[in-house]
Structure 1
Amino acid sequence: MNAAAMGPKPSQHHRLSKAKLLRRTLFLTLGAALMSVGLEIFLVPNNIIDGGIVGISIIASHLTHVPLGAFLLLLNLPFLFLGYKQIGKTFALSTLYAVAVMSIGTTLLHPIPPLTIDPLLAAVFGGIILGVGVGMVIRSGGSLDGTEIVAILLSKKTAFSVGEFVMFINVFILGSAGFVFGWDRAMYSLIAYYIAFKMIDVTIEGFDESKAVWIISDTYEEIGEAIMQRLGRGVTYLNGEGGFTGGAKKVIFCVITRLEEAKLKSIVEERDPGAFLAVGNIHDVKGGRFKKKDIH
């Protein structure tokens, strides 16, 4: 058997794994560095905080005059240990690296004066930069806040979701900012937190958010052909069975972008106004033939 038939050489696999590791490290570093910029150049000088361990660290640093980076690292360590035990080694190491870069970054940037002393501008731009940074770290398999790890673990043992735990913790932390920095700064902190929250979603999902579509119609062939011709998207026909009638049904499945949703709905409406149509958000698409074909 020749070498080509046996597949890639071991060294090729090794190079590929090193490339993936380099890419992950690059994005973890960039994300953590952006987080540092958002904190030290926008939020912290204007007494605006973020949620989670970062918010606690900002308050503790303000009250004790100990550098922010020290609290960011020390307060996250217990949660990193939990993450290592319960979630996995790769996640824990990625998080440790990102938190370390963020801690060093805030220390180096602390002497630099803020770009603005307008609290609204600081909240808006600081929130944007924070959200992009956190999103990049999450996409790379890490985290910058230990409260997310606690929320994941608690959600497995209770009826509350991860989001509900994170929200409860952050409401308490952001509320505490009112007693330390004043209630106007607490409200600016809420603005920054909300913007960061939205930017995390945009960074993770991208502007061309993908959507999964299921269509049940007797004119499935006509609809499927129109989707392929007019949208340039591939479709898959699935076999289904009606729950009430027991009759055989064909289900059209395809993946589109958010910008194509309105056009797809019009295609279905034109060919079968009574068709069943379900559209759902999906966070990641890999493999297959998702890449759009050119429409001539």
Structure 2
Amino acid sequence: MKSTDIKHWATDIAYTLAGILFCGFALKSFLIPNQFFDGGVTGMSLLLHELYHFNIAVVIVLANIPFIIMGAYQVNKTFAAKTLAAIIMLGLCLQFMPYPTDITSDKLLVSIFGGVFMGIGVGLAIRGGCALDGIEVLALYTGKRISFTISEIILGINIIIFLIAAFEISLPTALYSIMTYYTASKTISFVIEGLEEYTGVTIISAQSEFVKERLVMELGRGITVYKGERGFLKDSFDISQPVDIVFTVITRLEVRRLRNLVHEIDPKAFIFTSTIKEAAGGVLKKRARH
């Protein structure tokens, strides 16, 4: 095994173990003691635990097994094996790890911080190459057979979970649990997409040579150039000129500086930005931390 493979393998294990510990902490210290719920298979497991008093560790493992089997066919067997190991370890963590259970009973704190720690855990596990909730696999499987998107399927399943919780437990608890799920979802996105938030910038300008030079020499950015044509106006549709379309990636904090730089060269330059979830490699400048 190559050293890079060992490094990646060790990193995946570290992410997964950290994710399991965070999820266990969210469940045992926040959600379960206060009868709160989450979405997905975890939400189903918590609901079964509250309604029928089943052992939560056993329920979470058993509830995820069908989706893990499904994942072996929908994703790959390596993913399914890693997910099964992670789910079993989460069950053991819930059963034997001595988490504190009396941190807070304030519903707002429980809904926010329970969701944050759950989101961190699930996000870290995904970075480690596995899942701690099989709902994504179910949505992927179902989405290939019906016209709904994966997000719509997950939303529909979660609506059912929270409606049952509202009728069987209480409406306020269900509403706070929705806040927990929302917080967890946003935290998962933050963890998966990385701490660095980048913006892709495309610049179309008649002064592209000067723009390219200043982006590289002043901002220290790598650039990619596409060959295109500009013009095609309503009153002169048949007239166009070749142009270099410049693309670069910067941090959000540098967007204003880049726009000012480009407009200083060409006030008529066309600039548009797009959000980049995660970027690595190339000439990327890390955002300064204070």
Q: Is the TM-score greater than 0.5?
A: yes
Summarize deviations over 1:45-84 as a string: whole Å, max 9, x none.
1111000000010010112222111111101111111110
Give, in whole Å, the separation in 1 of the partners of 2:166 and 2:243.
58
Find the partner of 1:115 among 75, 87, 103.
103
Give the alignment's Cα RMSD to 1 decimal: 2.2
Summarize deviations over 1:154-197 as a string: whole Å, max 9, x none.
22344322222211211221222112220111111011111111
Counterpart of 1:84, as a letter, is: A
Give, in whole Å, the separation in 1 of the partners of 2:270 and 2:164.
49
TM-score (ref. length: structure 2): 0.89
> Are the counterparts in 1 of residues 74 and 137 from structure 2 also a CA contact under 8 Å?
no
Summarize deviations over 1:260-292 as a string: whole Å, max 9, x none.
223222323333333222222222323322246
Find the partner of 2:131 among 143, 156, 171.
143
> Are the counterparts in 1 of residues 86 and 130 from structure 2 also a CA contact under 8 Å?
yes
> Are the counterparts in 1 of residues 29 and 99 from structure 2 also a CA contact under 8 Å?
no
Give, in whole Å, the separation in 1 of the partners of 2:183 and 2:78.
29
- 1:195 and 1:92, CA in 2 relative to 1: closer, same or farther beyond 3 A? same
- 1:109 and 1:123, CA in 2 relative to 1: closer, same or farther beyond 3 A? farther
Find the partner of 2:82 among 86, 94, 98.
94
Summarize deviations over 1:14-42 as a string: whole Å, max 9, x none.
23212211110111111121011011101
2:281 counterpart of 1:287: yes
Counterpart of 2:279, as a letter, is: V
Match of 2:183 in 1: 195
State, as a whole percentage, how many aligned pairs show the same letter.
35
2:242 counterpart of 1:254: no
Find the partner of 1:278 among 252, 260, 272.
272
2:143 counterpart of 1:155: yes
Match of 1:14 in 2: 2
Match of 1:222 in 2: 210
Q: Between Structure 1 and Structure 2, how many residues are aligned?
A: 282
- Indicate the SS of the match to 1:26: helix
TM-score (ref. length: structure 1): 0.88
Give, in whole Å, the separation in 1 of the partners of 2:69 and 2:264.
56
- 1:177 and 1:241, CA in 2 relative to 1: closer, same or farther beyond 3 A? same
Find the partner of 2:119 among 115, 131, 140.
131
- Indicate the SS of the match to 2:129: coil
Give, in whole Å, the separation in 2 of the partners of 1:157 and 1:279.
35
- Structure 1 unpaired stretches of 5+: 1-12
- Indicate the SS of the match to 1:231: coil
- Indicate the SS of the match to 2:2: helix
Match of 2:236 in 1: none
Find the partner of 2:40 among 52, 75, 79.
52
